[in-house]
Amino acid sequence: MTYQPLTVNTTRKQTIIYVFAIETIGIDIGGTLDIAGTGTFEFYGVQLEHCLSEQLPPAANFTRIPFNDLGNSSRKRFIQVALTIDTRGNPVIFTPIIDSTNYAAQTITTNRKETVIYVFNFDAVGIMIGGILDIVTPNTNFEFYGIDLTQSITEKLPAVANFTHIPYTNLGNGSRKRFIQFAFVIDTFGQNVVFTPAIDGTTFPAQVINTARKQTVIHVFATEAIGIEVGGVLDSLITDAKFEFYGIELSECISEKLPPVAKYFKIPCNNFGTASRKRVRTIPLVIDTRGGTVTFTPIVDGVTFPSSTHVTNDKRTVLHFFETDAFGIDYCGILTSATDFEYYGFGGSNGTTGLPESVEVLPVAKKFDQLGPLELRRFGRIYKARARVVATGTSMTYNLIVDCVSVATGTWQTDVNCDQILDISFPKFIMGEVVRLELKSTTEFHRMYAEVLCRLTGNDTDNTWIKVK
């Protein structure tokens, strides 16, 4: 085809650029140089390095698209194939092929370079995909630019196998667990596959599995299964029968995470939910000594008490009995053994943090306390006061205040750690409207309750004991 000529006039050696004004497509390019009138010219040659904006693929009337496994040998679930093609207005038939199986063909017609998407309308699974492009009308052709498979699959399936060892896992910790099930996802293609679970190197009864699709299979342990790591083996019963193993799901595989094993364990101090002193007589311990002998040594407020020994063959609650008075706020302990044991915690009515068996819980200790204030209407009278206390020192003082004025003071002699009642008799005719009594000691003391003997009003004829806070 001849294109619009260009007139050139130069006075020296010069490079002339001819620009096509319309879309120009072809295979071969050439031209003629002709002088207008008389004269001569010198031609140095042509430069075609930048003459193309695009090199088009060769025209064809049949093309086999090579098979492609997308970089791996696993099966894939295909949903589409994208082709870039210019059929030049002619119908072209595209037939996709997956693992040598031809799928339904599609007729394509374009008038330019265009991306055409072939969509699979049913499940299409295989390893490799390719296809065929073929003309419908004889003596026509098309230009095929290539395929794009980056969005062609929805799922990459696992590699096929007839034997798989499921690696051991400790579920992220080194403690023993009580396993109840083992869940995994598999497609056996309708063939029998044997699953044999293993815990810490010990195999458990096997299970035969048969699925016709990708499916979650749950193996349930029929006997007690305790250990640190769990794994297994999948083995096909038929030679060369393949299956696809997708992985394991162990989030629900245990009923109990057992505590770490130890030979020495320092039980942290515990005040059992109250800062008060307690007289504890029995401490329950939840423990599995695993057949060994474990020694428990209690410590109360830093003081060591006589120990006890315990032997169990599984998780049990054992009792430590105090044979002397244990009177304190914080209870700790030490567990020791020559063999491994598992300690679960203090036992009690509220579980592992429950209060142990005690005979007395004292109020929180104080060094300064107050009874009242008590309102005595119309100038009532106060005669006596008494308080039940447990003191840790040998003396306490009191101060009676009536209407913000101290009217009586004194000292009690106390017995250390003895539950006792202290009485005060006040001088006669102590009268007022608001009365309070201060208790003080250089060492801590516990006050259980207090009461005063008084006449509430000036008209009362009987004296009354009234408990005060």
CATH of the structural domain 160-251, one choice from 3.30.1370, 1.10.700, 2.60.40, 1.20.120: 2.60.40
Domain ranges of the chain: 59-156, 160-251, 261-361, 366-468
- Residue range 366-468 forms a domain whose CATH class is mainly beta
Query: Measured between alpha carbons, how far is residue 194 from residues 165, 191, 217, 279, 431 in Å?
Result: 12, 10, 12, 60, 95
Neighbours of 203 (CB within 10 A): 11
- Contact criterion met (CB below 8 Å) for 233 and 171: no
Distance, in Å, from the CA atom of 37 to the CA atom of 41, rounded to the nearest integer, reads: 12
The pLDDT of 39-56, averaged and rounded, is 83
Please say if the pLDDT value at position 350 is more than 50: no
Residue 179 clears pLDDT 80, i.e. is over it: yes
Q: Which helix (H) or strand (E) holds 373?
A: strand 366-391
Residue 216 clears pLDDT 90, i.e. is over it: yes
Tell whether the model's pLDDT for residue 429 goes beyond 70. no
The secondary structure of residue 351, as a DSSP letter, is: G
Residues 6+ apart with CB under 8 A from 451: 385, 386, 465, 466, 467, 468
Mean pLDDT of 353-368: 76
As a whole number, mean pLDDT of residues 394-420 equals: 88
Residue 258 corresponds to which tokens in the numbers above?
Answer: 């057992």
Give the C-alpha separation, 404 to 401, whole Å.
6
348 — pLDDT class (breaks 50, 70, 90):
low
- Which pLDDT belongs to residue 459? 59
Residue 88 has pLDDT above 90, yes or no: yes
Select from 417, 419, 132, 141 the least CA-distant residue to 301. Answer: 417
pLDDT at residue 457, as a whole number: 63
Among candidate residues 442, 440, 385, 396, the one with its CA nearest the CA of residue 418: 396
Name the residue with tokens 């031209």: 31
- pLDDT value of position 351: 42
Give me the pLDDT at residue 433, please: 80
Q: Hey, do 59-156 and 261-361 end up sharing a CATH topology, with the first three levels equal?
A: no
Looking at residue 354, its pLDDT comes to: 54
Per-residue CA distances from 424 to 379, 384, 388, 443 (Å): 20, 6, 12, 20
Q: Bigger pLDDT: 271 or 360?
A: 271
Q: pLDDT, tens digit, for every residue of 302-338?
A: 999 999 999 999 999 999 999 888 888 899 999 999 9
Q: Which of 189, 165, 179 is nearest to 219 (CA)?
A: 179
352: pLDDT strictly greater than 60: no
Q: How is domain 261-361 classified at the architecture level of CATH?
A: Sandwich (2.60)
pLDDT over 70 for what percent of the chain?
96
Mean pLDDT of 129-135: 96
Q: Quick one: CATH architecture of 59-156?
A: Sandwich (2.60)
Q: What is the pLDDT of residues 138-170, one digit of tens each?
A: 999 999 999 999 999 998 999 899 999 999 999
